[in-house]
Structure 1
Amino acid sequence: MTNSATLHTLENGVRVVCDPMPGLETVALSVVAGRGAAYEDPARSGWSHLLEHMVFKGAGPRSSRDIVEVIEAQGGSINAATGYERTSFQVRALKGGLDLGMAVLADLVLRPTLDEADLAREKQVVAQEIAEAADAPDDYVFDLVQAAAWGEHPLARPILGTVDSVNAATVEGLSHWRGALYAADRLIVSATGAVEVDEVLDLARREFGSMPAAPGVPNFAVPAFVGGRKSQARKLEQVQLVFMLPAVSARQDDYFALRIFAEALGGGMSSRLFQEAREKRGLAYNIDAYADTYADAGALGVYAGCAAGDAAETAKICAEQIVGLAGKIEDAELARAKAQLKAHMFMAREQPLSRAEQAAGQALMFDRLYTPGELAAAVDAVTPDHLRRLGQVILGSGKAASAILGAKAALKAGEAFERTLIG
């Protein structure tokens, strides 16, 4: 398998990915800043997300309405997302829409209006978003487990921030934060679909080539997995459980072993958790496992929703299956997990926007692009010994994080998980 994508670097450090997909009649463009909420201090918690909102209120010569209408008038769509380690601005368009898409996204990133009245209104909008997240138990429980896992590091804080920290933002402060967050040294322009290399490079130079080359905000200290329990009593029909254990980062050798471990543990209907907790015992309708990885840290997570009376037993099963998988995996189970992981990766590559984001992530993390063949080979190279070695990392620290949200009767499920896992 080959890779049509190429990676280029402009004189100011902005990197450009061009990935033509023959036969497509559409374009996907992502402008990705390799910084996000993990770079915020407590006083600016939520500012990266607030800034993502604010740039859409007006940028360059366009009003908020103009930004959307000019893209949609050509059959396109525009969106954005803020994470812990990246902020993405995205356009999907018909063939020939790259020029306009590049110009609009450049305005958002480089020339937002940042008006005082807009900021006051958007603070109210974000406050409602924070309230909405708190009212969604299956979202809020993940904020709780992040807080339990990562101690004082910014990863422990919600991406949305708090009402107080968001309300503290000023136009001047956001303007300064924008310059640091979207600096050239961590900016990726990634285009896929009906695109050509020369056009992508010419447009990227036109829109981003004059950015100053000064570096942005520095990295925080490497995250340290602290562990602990966070629980909150609520009158809910279903208890929300999340358990998290320390693992490896995206840059470490056992990254693909972690992805396979998560697949085998709870990645599909044939996984250990699904079969044991749902099919055999009927304890949970939703139960799965996931790999949560960053540049310098990572974790294995498990999510389940169950009845309050079943929470401790569900927690015990989760711990038992993690311990069991850390000790041994059958050949057929390993082969199945590898096939599932490759399917997830390659199906995402068939979607232009996912492909653009995937390439941007590789450029940010490794300053290179990986071919599908390289990715497949890395997955296939994982052996049972690799998984046992990873299992020692997962279990060896003696640390675990848990978040329980629901009836009081279920709040000791975290203790049951740790007791079964660690003793």
Structure 2
Amino acid sequence: MRVSCVESAIGQDRLAQRTQIFDFDVHDDDLLKEISVTISIDNIYSCYYMRKTNWASGVLSPLHSSGGYRSTAPTLYVRTPMSEPQIYTLDNGIRVVVEPMPGAQSVVVAFRFTFGAKDDPNDRLGITRIAEDVLFKGTPRHDARAIFDAFDGLGIRRSSSTSVEYTSFLAQILPDKFKSALELYAELFRSASFPSDQVEIAKTITLEELKRMEDNPIQQAMYMTYKAGLGSPMGRIPLGEPDTVSAIVPAGVRRHWDAHCRPGHLLIGVAGGLDAETVIETVGDVFGGWAGKAPDSGESHPISVADRSVHREKPSEQAHICLLSCGVPRGHDLYYAGQLAIAILSGGGSSRLFTEVREKRGLAYSVSAFYQAYCGGGLMAVYAGTTADRAQETLDVCQSELARLRRDVTAEELIRAKTVLKGRLFTIGDLPEGRAGGIIEDLFLEGRVRTIDEIAAGIDAVTLDQIPQYIETFPPRPGTLLVLGPRPLETGS
């Protein structure tokens, strides 16, 4: 099949459009001849193609190209369209989102409970993190060894984590092991015994982790920044504090878990090689009989960042600089503009912070900007690690680059940032693990789920004038400045 396309590409100093002819060898009996192809500069060929029944979307790479623009043609593949995500609510309040991925050889299940470090009692900070760890150490029916044998016997790749707002568990499994895996997790969630000796071991490990933070100044600086900027409960460290962890007792861990681990607090996201009907039927069979009223967790905590400068003295030749400010919430009209603004700042080797702070001036060995979403808003953060004698100049340049986003973002930068974000989107989104994480995050933050096509369209729709509009709406200052190093720094007016 031969398709004529207009390709936009970034030249050294200008945008260029070139017409190319592509020959596609699609190998799809259901494919008709109509194809609409949009080519991006990262070699991702988004397309819509007419099947006998309906339009479908996917990604194609050409076998051959003419016009001499590329010396070698990318490899052909057809990105199989995924089914639309579907959301269900069981009678007991468990919300389930499913995204079948035809052709996937595995299934990923994301369990997310809507309680986390923010729900820890003030005198028992770290108790949710302890419970998450000890959960796997036994039930009335099975001891820790039997549980670990069961995980291995089912071939489950698992992980778990505790954040400020939620506690999550992730399982990657073969489709035919789906029900057995759900039954194993259901037993743990509903009847974990939290053995006293295992709670004490978990406390010891947690206290060691808190001590080791002294040897990781980047992590230490970021935790200090969140505490200084957000306060309690949103600025809490999930690990807790040494005195509160020491005060945790096994019976308290059991009470805390039993009080919060209820069906009304559970979200389940499933992506991969199972159809939605099978997933919903199986989840209902395993979890539908779970009863119990969850305590009211109230409204989400709004994100508010304190306007302050904090110096934490650390005798060292290094200085760690953190800037924290309110960012765009999920679902806001300027959300994608905000993501692109951060990509322009810190989206790779050509980004502004890397270029101005590291490459041109050699000020910092590490510099980055990132975004974090919460139910009650969003955060934008900038981190730079530098030498103590160049810390002030590093801060000045970082703040200058933040301010410069208001006025001189170029079309080339915007296109490059869009390419970066869509490259990550398609790379991660084609994997069951990536989609399971994405759909559970959407359900948690917005109560709805975006398709990959919707996200890509949102990125594409951002215009050049929306970047300064985002910075005006969500200015990086006022905010919190934290410096971990030998001397305090002065922030500009």
TM-score by length of 2: 0.79
AA aligned to 1:181 is H
The whole-number CA distance in structure 1 between the counterparts of 2:163 and 2:358 is 31
Are the structure 2 counterparts of residues 89 and 72 from structure 1 closer, same or farther at C-alpha, using a change threshold of 3 Å? Answer: same
Q: Matched residue of 1:232: which SS?
A: strand
Higher helix share: 1
The whole-number CA distance in structure 1 between the counterparts of 2:438 and 2:195 is 33
* Matched-pair contact (CA < 8 Å) for 1:36–1:181: no
Q: Matched residue of 1:224: which SS?
A: coil
Are the structure 2 counterparts of residues 59 and 346 from structure 1 closer, same or farther at C-alpha, using a change threshold of 3 Å? Answer: farther
Deviates more, 1:185-194 or 1:141-150: 185-194
Aligned to 1:198: 277
Q: Tell me how far 1:235 sits from its aligned partner.
A: 4.1
Match of 1:375 among 455, 463, 485: 455
* Matched-pair contact (CA < 8 Å) for 1:27–1:97: no
Deviates more, 1:345-354 or 1:82-91: 345-354
Higher strand share: 2
Q: Tell me how far 1:178 sits from its aligned partner.
A: 1.8
* Matched-pair contact (CA < 8 Å) for 2:321–2:384: yes
* Matched-pair contact (CA < 8 Å) for 2:106–2:174: yes
Q: Tell me how far 1:41 sits from its aligned partner.
A: 4.2
Q: Matched residue of 2:291: which SS?
A: coil
Aligned to 2:107: 27
**2:237 pairs with 1:161:** no
Aligned to 1:405: 484
The whole-number CA distance in structure 2 between the counterparts of 1:134 and 1:84 is 21
The whole-number CA distance in structure 2 between the counterparts of 1:326 and 1:42 is 41
Q: Deviations over 1:211-238 (max 9, x none)?
A: 2352333346423211323333334453
* Matched-pair contact (CA < 8 Å) for 1:245–1:401: yes
AA aligned to 1:412 is P
Are the structure 2 counterparts of residues 389 and 60 from structure 1 closer, same or farther at C-alpha, using a change threshold of 3 Å? Answer: farther
The whole-number CA distance in structure 2 between the counterparts of 1:169 and 1:341 is 43
Aligned to 2:167: 87
Match of 2:421 among 341, 344, 349: 341
Aligned to 1:362: 442
Give the number of the structure with larger relative contact order, counting CA–CA contacts within 8 Å between residues 6 or more apart: 1
Match of 1:229 among 290, 309, 313: 309
Aligned to 1:184: 263
Q: Matched residue of 1:210: which SS?
A: coil
Aligned to 2:332: 252
Deviates more, 1:180-189 or 1:263-272: 180-189
**2:186 pairs with 1:106:** yes
Q: Tell me how far 1:137 sits from its aligned partner.
A: 1.0
Superposition map of 1:193-342 within 5 A = 193-212=272-291, 214-216=293-295, 217-219=297-299, 221-236=301-316, 238-342=318-422
Are the structure 2 counterparts of residues 41 and 393 from structure 1 closer, same or farther at C-alpha, using a change threshold of 3 Å? Answer: farther
**2:88 pairs with 1:12:** no
**RMSD of the alignment, in Å?**
2.1
Are the structure 2 counterparts of residues 42 and 386 from structure 1 closer, same or farther at C-alpha, using a change threshold of 3 Å? Answer: farther
Aligned to 2:75: none
Q: Tell me how far 1:37 sits from its aligned partner.
A: 1.6
* Matched-pair contact (CA < 8 Å) for 2:364–2:385: yes
Deviates more, 1:33-42 or 1:43-52: 33-42
The whole-number CA distance in structure 1 between the counterparts of 2:300 and 2:96 is 26
The whole-number CA distance in structure 2 between the counterparts of 1:195 and 1:71 is 20
Q: Deviations over 1:377-404 (max 9, x none)?
A: 21222223332222123338x5221222
Q: Tell me how far 1:162 sits from its aligned partner.
A: 0.6
Q: Matched residue of 1:35: which SS?
A: coil
AA aligned to 2:180 is L
AA aligned to 1:210 is G
Are the structure 2 counterparts of residues 60 and 386 from structure 1 closer, same or farther at C-alpha, using a change threshold of 3 Å? Answer: farther
AA aligned to 1:204 is V
Q: Tell me how far 1:63 sits from its aligned partner.
A: 1.9
| Percent of paired sites with the same residue | 27
Q: Tell me how far 1:291 sits from its aligned partner.
A: 1.0
Q: Tell me how far 1:32 sits from its aligned partner.
A: 1.1
Q: Deviations over 1:127-167 (max 9, x none)?
A: 1122222321111111011012113x312221111122222
The whole-number CA distance in structure 2 between the counterparts of 1:94 and 1:220 is 36
Q: Tell me how far 1:23 sits from its aligned partner.
A: 2.3
Aligned to 2:224: 144
Q: Deviations over 1:30-67 (max 9, x none)?
A: 11112212333422322221111120211352222222
Are the structure 2 counterparts of residues 175 and 331 from structure 1 closer, same or farther at C-alpha, using a change threshold of 3 Å? Answer: same
* Matched-pair contact (CA < 8 Å) for 2:301–2:375: no
Deviates more, 1:339-348 or 1:171-180: 171-180
Match of 2:134 among 54, 78, 88: 54
The whole-number CA distance in structure 2 between the counterparts of 1:227 and 1:63 is 50
* Matched-pair contact (CA < 8 Å) for 1:89–1:105: no
The whole-number CA distance in structure 2 between the counterparts of 1:155 and 1:120 is 27
Q: Deviations over 1:235-274 (max 9, x none)?
A: 4453222111222222433222221111111121111001
Q: Matched residue of 1:31: which SS?
A: strand
* Matched-pair contact (CA < 8 Å) for 1:190–1:356: yes
The whole-number CA distance in structure 2 between the counterparts of 1:168 and 1:206 is 39
* Matched-pair contact (CA < 8 Å) for 1:258–1:300: no
Are the structure 2 counterparts of residues 326 and 41 from structure 1 closer, same or farther at C-alpha, using a change threshold of 3 Å? Answer: farther
The whole-number CA distance in structure 2 between the counterparts of 1:172 and 1:326 is 54
Q: Matched residue of 2:375: which SS?
A: coil
Are the structure 2 counterparts of residues 387 and 182 from structure 1 closer, same or farther at C-alpha, using a change threshold of 3 Å? Answer: farther
Q: Deviations over 1:336-355 (max 9, x none)?
A: 11221122222221222221
AA aligned to 2:341 is F
The whole-number CA distance in structure 2 between the counterparts of 1:154 and 1:29 is 29
Q: Which runs of 5+ in 1 are unaligned?
A: none
Q: Tell me how far 1:334 sits from its aligned partner.
A: 1.2
* Matched-pair contact (CA < 8 Å) for 2:300–2:376: no
The whole-number CA distance in structure 1 between the counterparts of 2:160 and 2:171 is 9
Are the structure 2 counterparts of residues 59 and 200 from structure 1 closer, same or farther at C-alpha, using a change threshold of 3 Å? Answer: farther
Q: Matched residue of 1:201: which SS?
A: helix
The whole-number CA distance in structure 2 between the counterparts of 1:227 and 1:184 is 39
**2:156 pairs with 1:76:** yes
